[in-house]
Structure formats: structure tokens, C-alpha cells
Amino acid sequence: MTVTHLTLPAGDGVAEAKILRSAVVGAGFMGRVHAEAARRAGVRVVAALAGTPGGAAQAAETLGAERGYPTLEALLSDADVDVVHVCTPNFRHAEVAEAALAAGLHVICEKPLATSVDDATRLVDSAKGRVATVPFVYRFHPMVRELRSRLTGGEAGVVSTVIGGYLQDWLSRSTDDDWRVDSAIGGPSRAFADIGSHWCDLFEFVTGDRITRLCAQTAVVQDRPGASNASTEDTAAVQFQTASGVLGTLVVSQVAAGRKNRLHLEISGTEASFGFDQEDPERLWVGRREGSQVLLRDPDTLSAAAARYSLLPAGHAQGYQDCFDAFVADTYRAVRGEVRDGLPSFADGLRAVRITDAVLASAATGGAWIEVAS
């Protein structure tokens, strides 16, 4: 294989840079997304880890990696890599990330960062001195950056309430099953840890506010006879309050027929309100007493923070993979020493685990108010 130097676009601060090398641990859907995003960032995917010794070659083929490895130990001792992407089932996240950090490597770890607060806290401590990120990729929609810029600029006036949800339907039938349903593999929370965490991260990111207390209820809607352990929650309903006094409600479901991946939030202020829907990411709704408008993604009219991630001309849709590509590219920029605003770190991953922990604690009481650890 011929290796050339990566030439970065003008304005990225580096004219010529060393080609970075990555390893992807986990060859499922998310592993494929990570590997593709790494390649688009000009990174060599040199190693892949299979779940079984006999699957090393298949993992390498699936991910387009140069070589497959049968064990994590073999990969870390043999492969010359800079960054490890952790895309395993949830119960292995802490184990794999900790081993990679101990080997002196940078890490991108899928969320949840860990299945317990203690493990997530330990990972944050272990990551000091390394680039360690978690793919809260919805931060990288240009219209999310536009929303954040307008809220930071005070355009909303006093923010009073927020409503929203994250709805999917891929587990809506009793015959639908996945390793995430099993608490021994996916962890004690499924729907909230998997997608509710994305919503909370997005809300706190765009507002700069923090959820301080909440009450929650969860439910298992479908009886899945094939599940090896008791099913984790299908739905969650959360009411919360923030440090600035904003009141919010959030509904999370993985059994909402017809909704494929609808993360939506509406933030209400005294001067303007804003609505964003991840299934329609090219638009941002802005409401005022005098009238409302829909802003379209257009690099010629957006704020500088949003235009940076608006890679295509107006009318040429950007979507999920573009967000993921931007997140991975910014992570590798950080490895090279250029840290951009808004890169989600292990500290953000720990934050999500703490909110999830509070949701489960409240639901276990039937909906008591619980303080969220800072």
C-alpha cells in the first residue's frame, strides 16, 4: 500500500500532516460508520478486532481494515495505531477504552461511555493527557450550531421551557430483538442510555444550561420471549429543571411505529423560540410574536460557527453521516493539536451516564425528584 501525506483544506491550520492510523474494535453497524468516517478524514484504518479468533479476517474485510486481530491484547501489542475506536456492545466499553488508554493511545468510545457512573468516572481520570471523545454527533448538524449561536447571542430572550423527544420504532414488535435489550450486555438502561442521552447532550450543548433535577418513569412495552434476561426499558418520560430555572419535558421511545430516528426539541423564549428536528436537519424553525420563519441551511447566510460545518451549497442535503464525519475529523484534528469548539469529550460521556443514573433512580421510586450529580 502506498502511503502519501494528507493535504488538509485551506484554513484548517495544517498544510501537511502525518497520516494517522486507527484501529476499530467492533465490526457491527457502528464500527462500519466509524471506519468510513476515519477514512474520509484521511486516516488509515490499519486494524480491526473480531469477536472470535476465526473472525479476524472477516472483521478486516467488513471494516476495510488492513489487518484483523483475534484479541484486544494482540491488537494493542502488535498494531501501530494512534487512535482506537470502541464500537463494541456496551458492557465492554470501559474495558476496551481503559486498555487503549493504558497503552498510550487516543480513544473514540461509543456511548454510553460506560454502564456505571464509577466506570465512567475512572475513564475520565484515565484519559487525562489523551484525546478521548464520545460521538454525540448531532452537535455537528450545521443548524444545531446555528441554534447554539443564536441562543448564545441572547436572541431567545429569557428561555423558560423546552419540550422534545427522541422516537424510534426498530423495537416496536415483540419479535424485534437485539443485544441492547439484554441488561447484561447493554447495561441497566437501553432506550434512555442509547438515545435519551443524545437529546440531553444536545439540549445542554445548545443552551449552555445544565439539568439539575428530574423525575422520570420508564416502561417495558413489549414482551420479548427470546430475550435472555429481563428487557430494559422501551420508553421513558422525564420532567426536569435546569440550573437557570428552565422547565423541560422529554419523551423517549424505541417502540414508536413510523418514527425512525426523530430527535426533536423546541426551546421557548420570551423574544424567540426555536425548533429543530433531526429527521429534517436542513431547517431551523424560529418563532416570534410578529411571525415565524424557517431558516434553511445555507453557508452564505449562517453564522460562522454553523457555516464551518456546512460543507455543501444550499439545497444539497447534509445528514447523519456528514455529522459523524465532522465529529471524527475534529477528533483527529485534536490529536494533531487543533482542538475545535464543541468536541464532545469523555467528560460529556460521564455527564450522560450521570443523567441516565438519575433517570433510573427516579423511575425505581415511581417518579420521585432526584438531584443530578454535577
pLDDT tens for 113-131 read 999 999 999 999 999 999 9
Statement: residue 15 has pLDDT above 50: no
Residues 203 and 294: their CA atoms lie apart, in Å, by: 20
In a domain, 212, yes or no: yes
**Mean pLDDT (whole number) for 322-348:** 97
- Residue 179 domain-assigned? yes
Query: DSSP letters of 242-308?
Result: ETT--EEEEEEES--TT-SSEEEEEEEESS-EEEEETTSTTEEEEEETTEEEEEE--TTTS-HHHHT
The per-residue pLDDT for range 220-232, each reduced to its tens digit, is 999 887 655 568 9
Asked if the model's pLDDT at residue 314 lies above 60, the reply is yes
Give pLDDT, residue 52: 72
4 band by pLDDT with thresholds 50, 70 and 90: very low
Distance of CA 185 to the CA centre of its chain: 19
User: Does a structural domain hold residue 63?
Assistant: no
Identify the CATH number of the domain in which residue 251 sits. Answer: 3.30.360.10
Q: Give the model's pLDDT for residue 226.
A: 62
Q: Is residue 89 a part of any domain in this protein?
A: no
Residue that wins the pLDDT comparison between 272 and 179: 272
What is the rounded CA–CA span in Å between residue 354 and residue 363? 14
Query: Is 224 within the bounds of a domain?
Result: yes
Please check the confidence at residue 26 and state whether its pLDDT lies above 50. Answer: yes
Q: How many domains does the chain have?
A: 1
Strand order in the sheet with 370-371: 291-296, 283-288, 273-277, 262-269, 159-167, 247-253, 235-242, 211-219, 370-371
Bridge pairing between strands 211-219 and 106-109: unpaired
Q: Can you give the pLDDT at residue 91? A: 96
Burial of residue 277, with CB atoms counted within 10 A of its CB: 0-12 exposed, 13-18 middle, 19 or more buried: middle
What is the residue range of 298's domain?
Answer: 139-313+345-371
Please provide the DSSP assignment of 95-109 as one string: HHHHHHHHTT-EEEE
Q: pLDDT at residue 54 above 80? A: no
% the chain with pLDDT above 70: 94
Residue 7 has pLDDT above 90, yes or no: no
Amino acid of residue 356: T
**Residue 71 within any structural domain of the chain:** no
Q: Report if residue 92 sits inside a domain.
A: no
pLDDT digits (tens, 9 = 90+) for 278-300: 999 999 999 999 999 999 999 99
Question: If pLDDT is split at 50, 70 and 90, which confidence band does 267 have?
Answer: very high
Indicate whether 357 belongs to any domain: yes
Kindly report the average pLDDT of the chain as a whole number.
Answer: 93
Peptide bond into 112 cis (omega under 30): yes
Region 246-261: mean pLDDT is: 98
Contact predicate 5/19, CB 8 Å: yes
Q: Is residue 218 scored above 90 in pLDDT?
A: yes
Per-residue model confidence (pLDDT) at position 5: 32
Distance between CA 95 and CA 132 in Å, rounded? 14
